[in-house]
Structure 1
Amino acid sequence: MTQLAGAEALTALDPVFAQLAVGAGHNLWGLANLTMREKAFVCLTADLCHPHLDLPLAMHVQMALANGVEPEAVRELYRHLAPYVGYPILVSAFQRLTELGLPEAKDTTPVEPEPLTGPLAHLVRDLEGVDPGLAAFTEDQLAQRWARPHLTTRERAIACLTVDVLYQTLGESMRLHAALARANGATDETLRDLIRGLAEFGLPRAWNAANSLFTK
């Protein structure tokens, strides 16, 4: 069984809670239909959504690195998530990553937007009929992100689905990200495992997400 980072620190806080927390953590890390990288990204994304930038983030960064996630991939995850969780929280998150000793960014190349296609382009077209200004901003933000290196499209979609579950944006946003995940290799069992793993971060949110995604 995977040894969860920070278990000793949790025991020092409260030994009974530590047992409960470690059990919940093993639920996520034991899921078969998510990669180890995806599980790490789920935890690191959840830390931004609540936000949990102290001990939980330190534990999850340690777990990510221990499971082979490159520091630049952690940075790219947080770059990707800025417009989904809000730029201000990412300022604090990057500051915290520096405090935790994450190496400096290797990727310093200028951001080159890529034209949107598929569901992302369709979203922008739909928004144009609602608010052209919002559509233009959305297109700019998405075009700067989804084709960048360091993360796959599936990993980006799973991170965005994590935001949807924890923010309870269970309509068009969740359907978009589920479609992107499925188009890049995710199955229903992948998405079911994602929601099962996210139950650690709030059972009622997971219940609502499961009902929205799988109830016909």
Structure 2
Amino acid sequence: MTQLAGADALAALDPVFAQLAVGAGHNLWGLTHLTTREKAFICLTADLCHPHLDRPLAMHVQMALINGVDPESIRELYRHLAPYVGYPILVTAFQRLTELGLAQAEDDQPVEPTPLTGPLARAVRTLEDIDPGLATFTEDQLAQRWGRPHLSARERALASLVVDVFYQTLGPSLRLHAELARSAGATDETLRDLLRGLAEFGMPRAWAAAEALLPRPGEGA
């Protein structure tokens, strides 16, 4: 069974809550259709969405590092999520990484936008019919992220789905990120595990997202 970082500290706060929290943590870390990195990224993304940048973030950074996630991947996750959760919260989050002693950034190269293709390009074209200016900004933000190194396309898509669940953006944004995840190898079972893991951070949100995202038994994707 995975050893959860910070369990002793939770017990010092409240022993009964600690038992409940550890049980919920083991649910997430025991899921079989997500990689260890993806489980760590779920927790780190959840911290930005709440935001929970104090002890929860410290615990989740420690869990990520213990399980072999390199510091640059954590930084890249934050870079990717900036326009999804808001740039201002990432300023504080990067400050917290410094306070926690995370290694300094290795990647300091100028950002090179990558032209959008596939679902991302289609999403921008759809948005152009609604608001061309917003479409231009969105295209710029997406082009700066989805072709970068340090995270896979599947990891980026799953992290973006976490934001959709937290913010309950269960329409076009959810469908776009689910399509991107599936095109990068995610299956219905991957998405089911994602929502089961996210239930730790809010069952009602996970329930609503499951209604919007998952096929019912016997139905196709």
TM-score band, normalised by shorter chain: over 0.9
- C-alpha separation between the residues in 1 aligned to 2:215 and 2:152? 28
Q: Match of 2:60, SS?
A: helix
| Residue ranges of structure 2 left out of the alignment (5+ in a row) | 217-221
Counterpart amino acid of 1:131? D
- C-alpha separation between the residues in 1 aligned to 2:215 and 2:173? 17
Matched ranges for 1:3-82 at <5 A: 3-82=3-82
Matched ranges for 1:133-144 at <5 A: 133-144=133-144
Q: Which residue of 2 aligns with 1:181?
A: 181
Q: CA offset at residue 215 of structure 1?
A: 4.7
Q: Match of 2:163, SS?
A: helix
Q: Which residue of 1 aligns with 2:83?
A: 83
Q: Deviations over 1:115-168 (max 9, x none)?
A: 000000001101111111000000000000000000000000000000001111
Q: Deviations over 1:49-76 (max 9, x none)?
A: 0000000000000000000000000000
Q: CA offset at residue 205 of structure 1?
A: 0.3
For these two proteins, the number of residue pairs brought into alignment is 216
- C-alpha separation between the residues in 2 aligned to 1:11 and 1:108? 40
- C-alpha separation between the residues in 1 aligned to 2:136 and 2:212? 28
Q: Which residue of 1 aligns with 2:166?
A: 166
- C-alpha separation between the residues in 2 aligned to 1:54 and 1:169? 26
Would you say 1:205 and 2:197 are equivalent positions? no
Q: Which residue of 1 aligns with 2:123?
A: 123
Q: Match of 1:43, SS?
A: helix
- C-alpha separation between the residues in 1 aligned to 2:202 and 2:124? 31
Q: Which residue of 1 aligns with 2:219?
A: none
Q: Which residue of 1 aligns with 2:193?
A: 193
Q: CA offset at residue 29 of structure 1?
A: 0.2
Q: CA offset at residue 214 of structure 1?
A: 1.8
- C-alpha separation between the residues in 2 aligned to 1:102 and 1:64? 11
Q: Which residue of 2 aligns with 1:102?
A: 102
Query: Identity rate of aligned residues, in percent?
Result: 80
Q: Deviations over 1:66-99 (max 9, x none)?
A: 0000000000000000000000000000000100
Q: Match of 2:8, SS?
A: helix
TM-score, structure 1 normalization? 0.99
- C-alpha separation between the residues in 1 aligned to 2:193 and 2:154? 14
